[in-house]
Amino acid sequence: DGGITQSPKYLFRKEGQNVTLSCEQNLNHDAMYWYRQDPGQGLRLIYYSQIVNDFQKGDIAEGYSVSREKKESFPLTVTSAQKNPTAFYLCASSRRVRSNEKLFFGSGTQLSVL
């Protein structure tokens, strides 16, 4: 089954803890993205990556970090510096980073703070 796989579906974070959200794709896409979705706020871009070992900050990168060591994988770490981490996180990919490219989305991870 081709596509984007995000795990876990639900994640809980304690105060001061870093947590990592997984995103894997088997679409052979060069570009990958992380969005944050809050009720009534739409999708906001956290980070994106055009190619392996490269990534760029989006609109709300503070308190987050990413890596892109493999083409298929783009994990997102929510650090303790992110003071309001409770949200629904969506990973996406596209063939390349272009404004007219179709995005393919994962099923999301709901992160909550204990």
**From residue 58 to residue 87, what is the string marking binding to another protein with x (rule CB under 8 A)?**
------------------------------
In whole angstroms, what is the distance from residue 36 CA to residue 34 CA? 7
Among 15, 16, 41, 83, binds another protein (CB under 8 A): 41
**Residue 100 is a binding residue for another protein (CB under 8 A):** yes
Q: What is the C-alpha to C-alpha distance for residues 65 and 41, in angstroms, rounded to an integer?
A: 21
**How many Cα atoms sit within 13 Å of 22 on the Cβ side?**
9
CA-CA distance, 88 to 108, in Å (whole number)?
7
Among 19, 21, 34, 48, binds another protein (CB under 8 A): 48
User: With CB under 8 A as the contact rule, which of the stretches 14-22, 35-43, 60-68, 69-77 interacts with another protein?
Assistant: 35-43
